[in-house]
Structure 1
């Protein structure tokens, strides 16, 4: 007769207090989540995935890529360079790939950061860049690009009726658009240094997971939720509704 491992029986009893599911094979679901993502000077674990970390090991919006020792992340179909990840403070420093070169040659499009995952750090702000502007209107901070024409920057929408297009960039709160001619060199430097966002993933469920000497990932099915997976003896699975994650041992 087959007997469940002792560790499985202990967790099974704990889960029974909340909700019970039959034991099932889960060996492949979260395998490899103990491996960290490493690229250049960036190292990351949960809630990120990438390289040898399976997609289920991290949130779908936090899949990292490594090309020539440069870490990248795609948000709203736009590529960002990941300059730094601080997992203690749950923050990432990002720089838009399409704004790393000459600003006048950049792609002027808006990128929306999913608010359920990202929150811009309080030391940064959004500044509006206006283009296709009326050349006869007086602007507080403007620059004439060779091919695009007049562009202007503002922390509010005061030029909204005088320019046909606009998009936002994230800059340090210390960055103040100058009166008169915009200092393009200073702007390009600030964009290359990137901006910081907080990752809004609640890790409390993971603390419970770690207490079972396991690791965390995400389940594929809707609604999205945190999974707790095994480091050892992947033989049975049950769902703990109270903690909203799946524990497997």
Structure 2
């Protein structure tokens, strides 16, 4: 009898301890997915506000956006690199999935570009409105076959840049860079007019993962990308998101010049 009076409380204590431990562990199973929380963060930099998927950067980790779509904030100015060309982001509209961008190199100096033509990764972006192709050619040898579209770059050295609509480089030039310009540009022999047109920028629309992300957000999740497969993934608070089945299509980098 004495033995029962000793062991019964121990059994009761052990029983209660097991229940306590199960209840203590339960919240860790139901706690929020940290990736879900991180991907709920939006990017804001200067005039660019509240930008999320498919971009990452700042307080949005890499897994929250496409690997090639990092937004970088420098001195409250947003930049993005597309096909090795750095662009300043002038405007961003998540509702229409558009960015207005301008080449960072030409915003500094019309005569010292990085020698890469403007091109888009067509798996990620498309042009949102029509533009003209403008070729700026450097190291040209003046000839009677070229119209007088020379823009002075350096009056001291006599350096010039030759401008023409289209994307073909004159054979008498060392290199040419193709940039999109508004259809309103007419005076391509004017340094100021060409510089202002390029500075105005152009609008691109991102197309990667748009439909999949819409499904994800409607199911209560946050969008991201899954590793090397570059496939849209849906991060949920606690459990796999219901009603989300991303398309089997996977995005792979592609390149297309203006045209």
Contact 2:221 2:241 in 1 (8 A): no
Q: Which residue, out of 151, 155, 165, partners 2:175?
A: 165
State the partner residue of 1:52. Answer: 59
Matching residue of 1:34? 40
**In 2 relative to 1, CA 148–204 (structure 1 residues): closer, same or farther, beyond 3 Å?**
farther
Distance 1:107 1:177, change over 3 A: farther
User: What secondary structure, in the 3-state scheme, does the structure 1 residue paired with 2:166 have?
Assistant: coil
SS at match of 1:198: strand
Q: Which residue of 2 aligns with 1:97?
A: 104
In structure 1, stretches of 5+ residues that fail to align are 4-24
* Partner Cα distance (1:206, 1:107) in 2: 35
Q: CA deviation at 1:218?
A: 0.7
> Structure 1 pair 237/89, CA: closer, same or farther in 2 (3 Å)?
closer
Change (3 A) 1:151 1:139: farther
Q: Which residue of 2 aligns with 1:204?
A: 211
3-state SS in 2 of match to 1:206: helix
Looking at secondary structure, tell me which structure has more helix per residue: 2
Q: Give the secondary-structure state (helix, strand or coil) at the position aligned to 2:212.
A: helix
What's the TM-score once normalised by structure 1's chain length?
Answer: 0.76
- What SS is found at the alignment partner of 2:227? coil
TM-superposed CA distance for 1:99, in Å, is 0.5
Report the Cα distance in structure 1 between the residues aligned to 2:88 and 2:75, rounded to whole angstroms: 12
Q: CA RMSD in A?
A: 3.0
Structure of higher CA gyration radius: 2
In the superposition, the TM-score normalised over structure 2's length comes to 0.73
From the superposition, tell whether residues 72 and 95 of structure 1 become closer, same or farther in structure 2 (CA, over 3 Å). same
Higher relative contact order (CA 8 A, sep 6+): 1
Gap runs ≥5 in structure 2? 1-18, 24-30, 250-259
For these two proteins, the number of residue pairs brought into alignment is 219
Q: Does 1:77 align with 2:107?
A: no
What does 1:96-135 align with in structure 2 at a 5 Å threshold?
A: 96-135=103-142
Tell me whether 236-245 or 163-172 shows the greater mean CA deviation: 236-245
Give the superposition deviation at 1:149: 2.6
Provide closer, same or farther for how the CA distance between residues 159 and 58 of structure 1 changes in structure 2, counting only shifts above 3 A: closer
| Structure holding more strand per residue | 1
1:78-118: CA deviations, max 9, x gaps?
Answer: 32111111112111111111110231244443243212112
